[in-house]
Structures are given as C-alpha cells and as structure tokens.
Chain A
Amino acid sequence: MTAPYFELGYFGARGALVAALVIGIAFGWCLESAGMGSARKLAAQFYLTDLTVFKVMFSAIVTAMLGLFWLGRLGVLDLSRVYVPETYLLPQVVGGLVFGVGFALGGLCPGTSCVAAVTGRLDGVALVLGMWSGVLVTGLTFAPLQSFYEKTPRGTLTLPQLFHLPYGIVVLLVVLIALAGFRGAAWIEGRAASRRDSPALPDASRDHTRHVAEGVGA
C-alpha cells in the first residue's frame, strides 16, 4: 500500500493545504467548464429540459467509485485509511429534503454557487451570502438541534454492508443503474427538445404567445 499519501505521512499540514488548493482549482475548473456555474442550466434539471447535473454528478460518482475499487483491489490505495462520512439516517434524510428545497429554488448548490459568484453571476453572490448566513444562524442556534443532529447514528455504514453484498457486486450494480440512467436522460432530453421544436404542440405555442406578449408589453 502506498496511498493515501497524507495519511501515510508522506507530507505534512502545509503540503495538505497546497493539495487542497490544487485539487480545488481542478474541481472549480471542471464545474465551470461543464456549465455548473449557471443557475438556469442547473434549474433546468428539475424541469427535465437539461439533465447536465445528473450526467456530471453520476459520471463523477461512477468514475471515482471505480477508481477506488480498482486501486484498492490492486493494493495501491489502503481503503481503510480513506475517510468515509458517517451515517446518521434521520438527519441525513431530513437534511437532504431541506437541501433539495433550496436547490430547486436557488438553482445552485454550495460548490457551484462559488463558481457562479466568481464568474460574475450576482444571483450566485446572493446565494453564497444566504448559504453563509444560513450556516451561521444554524451554528449559533445549534443547541436545540443537536439531539436531532445525532439521532439514528450508524457509524461508518456502506451499501455493501447494508445489503450484505460483496463490494464488487455493489459497484457493478451502481454502474449498471447509472448507465440505465444515462440512457433515460438522453431519452428525456430528446423528448423535451422535440416538444420545444414542434409548434403544433400546445405547450410550445403557449410559451411562444407568452414571450410575444411580453415583448409587446416591454
């Protein structure tokens, strides 16, 4: 085993911060290149007209998941030294639901809002400020939330452990589900595009009228 390098003491705290900066730059570069700094593009995910968010997110998850599996299998990476976020069932479901409401309303998530903000999108700046205020207020009024925050702890719990399946089988299943999802995404986008392009359909003509009316009003 030769990795993870930091965990095995190949470099210290200063090196870790250099790594943080370099990894962050690469992450931000990729997010911007994919259009993930655009709130309208992200929001289109929830109206099924542009599924870029799904495609980017799940191809990233699958890539990293396969990399972890094979590097572990080849003995390059000691998976027991990779930090796995601990599971707290209830707070994570509820936190996810609350988060999703903000995601659909705002069209950006914490990471992409930073990209939106630095590329000149003022709605991104507003969302960053809101996010920061939300975390601040939640942190200051944390005492009453704490018991809920710590409910239903399951420690480090992974899908292979939960389903009593071998790691490789779960990896394969996630890959298959993702591939089916990518096919589905292409189908959904194709349907949305044909609906947009065909003026005979009531949906498209209504949109058209609305835009014309707006143009006259303005």
Chain B
Amino acid sequence: MRSWGRPYINPYVAGVAIGLVLLAAFVVMGRGLGASGAFASSAAGVVSAVARDRAQSSPFFARYLGGDGPWLDWLLIEIVGVAIGGFVSALIAGRLRLAVERGPRISEGARLTTAFVAGAIMGLGAVLARGCTSGQALTGGALLSVGSWLFIAGAFAAAYAVAPLARRAWT
C-alpha cells in the first residue's frame, strides 16, 4: 500500500489516546462518544424542516426534536469536532489527498457505489443496534454493557463472514 505524508502513529498509542478522550467524555459529561447519532439527529433535522408532521410522528426522529433541537444535538457537535480534528491532523501530517481508496481490481465507480450501499446497510444496522462502533463498541464496551459486547461480536462475526465474498473490492 502506498503511503502519503508522515507515517501513522503506533496503533496502541492511538488506542490509549482515544481511551483517554473517551474517559474525558465520561468524566466531563457523564456520557461517551458516538457517531451514528449525529447522522440520526441531522436526518431528523432535515425531515423536520421539510415535513414537520412527518418527523414528529416518527418515534425514531421525534426524540431528536426536543430540547435545543436536532442541530445542537451533543453528538452532532461532537462529529463536527471529529471532522475538524481529522482534517487538521491530516493537514499537518501531509496526508490530505483527493482520492478514491479501493482495491487493485475494482473501478472507481464500483468502489463509490459499494461505499454508498455499505453506508446505507450500516445506517440500518446502527439504528437497530442503537449505535455504532463509537457509541456501542467503544463507549458501551468500556462500560461493560452486555448489549454493546453483543454488538461487537455480531459486527466482527458478520464482517469476517462477508470479507471472503468482498475480496474483489479490496485485494
């Protein structure tokens, strides 16, 4: 794999750092990290702006419409931070690069289509599981939540089961 800019840092150093960020969230806020929740609140915000009744009648979207509204949702602001932090880190390390990351045997168009479909599948999964790799695996994992560990087991089991079938996309 061709590398760009400075090499990535040691995965264990990065993992401990993420663990400390997560711990800071627990100490400061009494809650952990998340990502899919930001997608849910922004989707609720858009649906609410287009068809207010539709959003309020959906038990899934309605919960994001209370309080300060969907656009000031804690996880949405946190994800804006993730985007800023990721961008600045890549900028400093010289890793910003306009590209389609793909395996050697898949076209750019096919990779983009696959990525979109994969995202949609994960969207469904994250809604059902009440979170994703951030909100369930990292946060719930550290809190030893049973449901979160079931999510981790399910996600890795399915990913390893599907990977041989998706080999064409990556190797």
Contact = CB atoms under 8 A, between A and B. Distances in A.
Contacts of A131: 36, 39, 119-120, 122-123, 126
Contact of A32 (B29, B89, B115, B120): B89
Contact of B19 (A60, A118, A146): A60
Dominant secondary structure of chain A at its interface with chain B: helix
Given A113-B119, A136-B47, A138-B60, A30 B14 contact: yes
A201 interface: no
Nearest to B87: A118
A180 to B, nearest CB: 15
A153 to B, nearest CB: 10
B94 to A, nearest CB: 11
Given A41-B1, A115-B82, A130-B119, A110 B11 contact: no
Interface in B114-137: 114-137
A40 to B, nearest CB: 5
A60 B146 contact: no
Chain B interface mostly: helix
A122 B99 contact: yes
A165 to B, nearest CB: 10
B11 A111 contact: no
Given A28-B89, A84-B145, A85-B148, A109 B132 contact: yes
Contacts of B80: 21, 24
Nearest to A35: B8
B11 A6 contact: no
Interface in A44-96: 44-47, 52, 55-65, 67-68, 71, 76-77, 81-89, 91-96
Interface string A140-154: 101101101100001
Given A103-B122, A107-B115, 14 more contacts: A20-B77, A21-B78, A30-B21, A40-B1, A99-B151, A102-B118, A106-B115, A106-B117, A111-B132, A114-B82, A120-B99, A127-B116, A131-B119, A154-B147
